Structure 1
């Protein structure tokens, strides 16, 4: 546990760093929406492919092989990012902007709560599906179900990427999170393992659009000199939610069974939808930070 805590505590928020770079490079360009969507699709692919690759290495090569692969990928990815200084956002001038924090940006604390709840729901779904399929004597099916969930999310992300959106991201966030809640609750009422497959596709179709809308809201409303911090806070919020889900799902399964755990995920998804609605209402009264960012770019 100590080494796990040290590993997590020293791991840079690569996703937020990359998104901040895209926002810097493509600010004001219609390609920014596509870049943020692409990042969400990549995240989904990694979340599925990573555990599968590690499981194959651990069972077929050596128990340490999975850790070695993780170490190699971590070092290679961080080094590749560090060797691209030309894509870095400019360092904020503390004298000009003040020290402050991105937490003062409109709606960001509520958006963090939204991502915590969504991350918790997603994590519980992952563990609940494994427990549900094991209870029904089809544990091997869990990998296929979760794979379909990621595939549905990737397809939705690519579709979302290909469309120009005129509505603001907070409105899209408020619209997609209730669909995410509905998709989560479908798992809780599944009569059998076969029902999990279409449920996974439906849930996956709502995940990437919700994440993309959330990060787009950060890019729109957080001042440019606080953008990396804002992206990191939202990414960390998702990680906190995943940790909460992992810590509570097993206990719920042990006490009340897999179906109760899937229902527990639905409760968290509903909390995410409520927090997303509150975020949207807060941001409707806010002024986008685009003007301040443009000033920072030209000044």
Structure 2
């Protein structure tokens, strides 16, 4: 049988009109329950980093120790993400996630107990926090894999990924606000306990949802072994493009926070940084929802470089802003490209996946974005006192511009079906 192009969307399988609305995403059987459970788990991720940072600082009395411990947590969580996702692909979420989340929650509660009062050893708590990071349940990759298995066509999948990404960004923004409210009435370690409860409840509710069972049946019945070599090569190319742009997005985003702080400080209004970052989030949410609602005729690998170009150019232009109002406006414009670029990277990676590699393929994109963001923040911190702010913004834009240019190289011709 002739190989089918990876990104081809058969016209007969694509509904039109209301069937492609965001409401149709939530009408997928079991979607609302699974999606709601996943958002509860993701709210935990929105709270846990700040909660751990504050709890470790309170327990050890040292910002340096707290920063080092959080670096360990980030490293084990981010870089072991594909490994955890591979376990889910191999054994299924219902066998892997319950023990994983149980260990993770127990470790978080243990950290909360020992940091509730001052005097804990930084070495000891660092080891436990690193172990907790290694056990972080891959709620996001699992939810995206569920959308991919059960969305009836790839245009509806685009809306599912857009809705998923925007909602995730919202809960990750709300999480630190909740921590701020909580530490006003309770010790910092209380936020760690709440994070443990949220991830436990969310993950167990997700794996018990009927959507997980149907996705497992769909995956088991799909045939992924009998594939032409050209399709396998195309999948590898698609994943490479998705990961390269994801790295560029992460590096650029990692530089934005510190750059905005420095810009606000330079203009004597340090408190305004919150509004600048809020403008980025608002732009990203609006851009993501608008992007997901469009029925694009071009393939994801054609759209991705253009989105990267828009993100990079607007970010570089932000550094030329004459005041905070203009910076907020241009930052919002930059945000319009963020969620669409990430959504398209996930779509491209998903098209590169097989039924047995779907979770880990999405996890590679997620890992690359997070690792890039950490590297971008660290690099900006080293440079921000040494070169002018416009140059900082230009350097922040450079990774995504280079990755967009690299992925704009035409792929090899796909075989005709």
* Matching residue of 2:197: 72
2:416 matches 1:285: no
2:402 matches 1:271: yes
Cα displacement (A) at 1:115: 0.7
CA offsets 1:147-187 (integer angstroms, 9 cap, x no match): 11111111111111222122111111122110011111122
Structure 1 residues 145 and 4 mapped into 2: Cα distance closer, same or farther (>3 Å)? Answer: farther
2:300 matches 1:173: no
Cα displacement (A) at 1:59: 5.0
Q: 2:249 aligns with which of 118, 124, 129?
A: 118
The separation in 2 between residues aligned to 1:285 and 1:74, in whole angstroms, is 44
* Matching residue of 2:381: 250
Cα contact 1:103–1:109 (8 A) shared by 2: no
- The structure with higher relative contact order (CA 8 Å, sep 6+) is 1
* Matching residue of 1:131: 262
The separation in 2 between residues aligned to 1:233 and 1:134, in whole angstroms, is 36
Cα contact 1:188–1:266 (8 A) shared by 2: no
Structure 1 residues 87 and 119 mapped into 2: Cα distance closer, same or farther (>3 Å)? Answer: farther
* Matching residue of 1:54: 179
Structure 1 residues 16 and 102 mapped into 2: Cα distance closer, same or farther (>3 Å)? Answer: farther
- TM-score of the aligned structures, taking structure 2 as reference length: 0.61
Which 10-residue stretch deviates more, 222-231 or 144-153?
222-231
> Aligned runs of 1:171-210 on 2, under 5 Å?
171-210=302-341
The separation in 2 between residues aligned to 1:250 and 1:196, in whole angstroms, is 20
Cα displacement (A) at 1:235: 1.2
2:217 matches 1:86: no
Q: 1:143 aligns with which of 260, 271, 274?
A: 274
* Matching residue of 2:134: 9
- Larger radius of gyration, structure 1 or 2? 2
Cα contact 1:20–1:89 (8 A) shared by 2: no
Which 10-residue stretch deviates more, 64-73 or 74-83?
64-73
The separation in 2 between residues aligned to 1:275 and 1:58, in whole angstroms, is 45
CA offsets 1:37-80 (integer angstroms, 9 cap, x no match): 11111122133222333233335643334333333332222222
The separation in 2 between residues aligned to 1:142 and 1:153, in whole angstroms, is 17
Cα contact 1:128–1:258 (8 A) shared by 2: yes
Query: 3-state DSSP class of the match of 1:239?
Result: helix
Cα displacement (A) at 1:87: 4.6
* Matching residue of 2:23: none
After the TM superposition, which segments of 4 or more aligned residues of structure 1 sit over 6 Å from their partners?
A: 101-104
* Matching residue of 2:362: 231
Structure 1 residues 51 and 107 mapped into 2: Cα distance closer, same or farther (>3 Å)? Answer: same
Cα contact 2:307–2:337 (8 A) shared by 1: yes
* Matching residue of 1:20: 145
Count, aligned residues: 283
Q: Give ranges in structure 2 of 5+ residues lacking alignment.
A: 1-68, 70-125, 227-231
The separation in 1 between residues aligned to 2:131 and 2:244, in whole angstroms, is 25
Which 10-residue stretch deviates more, 2-11 or 110-119?
2-11
Cα contact 2:279–2:331 (8 A) shared by 1: yes
Structure 1 residues 56 and 255 mapped into 2: Cα distance closer, same or farther (>3 Å)? Answer: farther
- TM-score of the aligned structures, taking structure 1 as reference length: 0.83
Query: 3-state DSSP class of the match of 2:268?
Result: coil
Cα contact 1:41–1:157 (8 A) shared by 2: yes
Which 10-residue stretch deviates more, 84-93 or 213-222?
84-93
Cα contact 2:254–2:377 (8 A) shared by 1: yes
* Matching residue of 2:52: none
